[in-house]
Amino acid sequence: MEHPENHPDYKGLQVNSGVKSQPSVNPYRRPRARRARLTADEFVSGIRNGDTAVLGQAVTLIESTVPEHQQLAQEVIEKCLPYSGHSRRIGITGVPGAGKSTSIDVFGLHVLRDGGKLAVLAIDPSSERTQGSILGDKTRMEKLSQHPSAFIRPSPSAGSLGGVARKTRETIVLCEAAGYDTIFVETVGVGQSETAVHSMVDFFLLIQLAGTGDELQGIKRGIMEMADGIAINKADGDNVDRANLAAAQFRNALHLFPPTPSGWRPEVVTYSGYYDLNVDKVWGMIDRYFDFVKANGYFEKKRNEQAKYWMLETINEQLRNDFYMRPEIRALLEQKELRVLNNEQSSFTAAHDVLNRYYELLKDVR
Ligand code: GDP
């Protein structure tokens, strides 16, 4: 008898045998829900083996602001560095609506036709404000995002333009170590981010639209001076003549610019990204450029200059962060600002005072 309550003489409530309960733990569940953190060497070997999940995780590490992530990320970058450098780095800029995503989609397929691997990265300064990046969004590059040899990564979203750009630059190193031999870095042609992109790519392509002379004026002169090539998009249908006219105008405008440090004369071509017309003209130009700068030594020279630039930029960024993140310095700055605005102290002595306080703080730590 299982229970005394079930004895024939028992008059109270009876207990019926129930249904056996299921084990509370699902035997098919994976042993660990959380992924264990990889070591730097595991990251590097995953990246080198072309494991895109590991590459993606490593990029996330680069983008993290957590100090220990940063430390690990730097170790991974350092270990990837010997395998980096063997790619064509191409910057692509143009105002919103110029057709960057449409073009990158077809450019990408064009590059991948001959094999190889392509990474599409982005620098989007507006992401700081919108709390999310627009550039590099996979949905904008429909065909490319489904291609097994393409790695698309949106712009890092947090921090200053300098910080965002540095992360993209570091991501290039990882992508190259993973065997990506063409890297696109996309940016919106409206602000300062071009300078940052220019400082990390070999070739800088400006995507333009056919337009009136007025629109030509609207383009920032600085951006045109940085461009190694101008590609006029949407040269299709009724727009072909206008595109050709615009090309002639751009060629004339470029003649007025001083010669580029590479000795290369920027070219202007017309194409249609949407209808996939004359895309090989764009690539013909890019191929000619690489042949030219590799032959005259400018390719190496520019990369060395860029490496130096990024070292100095990183120092600047870290110094600035260290300075401005200190509560005591921030408080003192606020006071000094008031004094300067009230004409109680000159800007220069106020700056000196704040800097001196900073140096004292540094001494205290030592
Ligand atoms: P982005 O803002 O620079 O990335 O520009 P998109 O690639 O999103 O393109 C903006 C608009 O232009 C979209 O509606 C595209 O369909 C259109 N577009 C892009 N390339 C071409 C082209 O070659 N010809 C024509 N007619 N339209 C295009």
What pLDDT does 130 receive? Answer: 47
Residue, of 36 and 345, whose pLDDT is higher:
345
Mean pLDDT of 17-42: 69
Q: What DSSP string runs through 310-324?
A: HHHHHHHHHHHHHHH
Task: Flag whether pLDDT at 199 surpasses 60.
Answer: yes
Give 123 Cα–ligand 1 centroid separation in angstroms. 19
356 domain residue, yes or no: yes
Which of 100, 102, 126 has most ligand 1 atoms within 8 Å of its beta carbon, as the pocket-test mutant? 102
What pLDDT does 219 receive? Answer: 59
What pLDDT does 139 receive? Answer: 67
Rounded to an integer, what distance in angstroms lies between the CA atom of residue 285 and that of residue 154? 27
In this prediction, residue 285 has a pLDDT band, given cuts at 50, 70 and 90, of: very high
Question: DSSP 3-state assignment of 170?
Answer: helix
What pLDDT does 188 receive? Answer: 75
Residues 273 and 345 in one domain: no
Residues 199 and 239 in one domain: yes
CATH number at 222 reads 3.40.50.300
Residues 107 and 160 in one domain: yes
Burial of 99 (0-12, 13-18, 19+ CB in 10 A): buried
Residues 228 and 262 in one domain: yes
What pLDDT does 33 receive? Answer: 53
Residues 65 and 119 in one domain: no
93 domain residue, yes or no: yes
Q: What DSSP string runs through 187-237?
A: EETTSTHHHHHHTT-SEEEEEEE---HHHHHHS-HHHHHH-SEEEEE---G
Residues 292 and 352 in one domain: no
Q: What is the pTM for the complete model shown? A: 0.82
Provide the residue count of the chain.
366
Residues 222 and 357 in one domain: no
Helix (H) or strand (E) holding 62: helix 52-63
The protein residue with its alpha carbon nearest to ligand 1, atom 9, reads: 99
Give 211 Cα–ligand 1 centroid separation in angstroms. 15
Residues 144 and 77 in one domain: no
Residues 120 and 131 in one domain: yes
In this prediction, residue 97 has a pLDDT band, given cuts at 50, 70 and 90, of: confident
Question: DSSP 3-state assignment of 289?
Answer: helix
| Sign for the pseudo-dihedral over CA of 75, 79, 80, 82 | positive
What pLDDT does 319 receive? Answer: 92
Residues 284 and 336 in one domain: no
User: What total of structural domains would you count in the chain?
Assistant: 3
Question: DSSP 3-state assignment of 1?
Answer: coil
Rounded to an integer, what distance in angstroms lies between the CA atom of residue 151 and that of residue 148? 8
In this prediction, residue 132 has a pLDDT band, given cuts at 50, 70 and 90, of: very low
What pLDDT does 352 receive? Answer: 97
Tell me, using a 6 A CB cutoff, whether residue 94 lines ligand 1.
yes
Tell me, using a 6 A CB cutoff, whether residue 136 lines ligand 1.
no
The residue among 66, 83, 100 that closes a domain is 83
Residues 287 and 229 in one domain: yes
Task: Flag whether pLDDT at 292 surpasses 80.
Answer: yes
Q: Which residue type is seen at 240?
A: V
304 domain residue, yes or no: no
Residues 72 and 199 in one domain: no
307 domain residue, yes or no: no
Tokens of 238: 């009724």
Atom of ligand 1 nearest to the CA of 188: 3
Atom of ligand 1 nearest to the CA of 95: 3
What pLDDT does 217 receive? Answer: 46
CATH number at 71 reads 1.20.5.170
Helix (H) or strand (E) holding 102: helix 100-112
Mean pLDDT computed over every residue of the chain: 86
Angle at the Cα of 64 from the Cα atoms of 58 and 67, rounded to 5 degrees: 105
- Domain extent, residue 190, equals 85-296
Burial of 276 (0-12, 13-18, 19+ CB in 10 A): middle
In this prediction, residue 197 has a pLDDT band, given cuts at 50, 70 and 90, of: confident
The residue among 27, 57, 83 that closes a domain is 83
In the chain, pLDDT over 90 holds for what percent of residues? 58
316 domain residue, yes or no: no
Task: Flag whether pLDDT at 73 surpasses 60.
Answer: yes
Q: Which candidate, 202, 206, 182, 188, places its Cα nearest to that of 140? A: 188
Burial of 115 (0-12, 13-18, 19+ CB in 10 A): exposed
What pLDDT does 222 receive? Answer: 75
Give pLDDT tens digits for 268-284: 999 999 999 999 999 99
The residue among 281, 296, 311 that closes a domain is 296
* DSSP designation for 272: B
Q: Which residue type is seen at 19?
A: V
Tell me, using a 6 A CB cutoff, whether residue 274 lines ligand 1.
yes
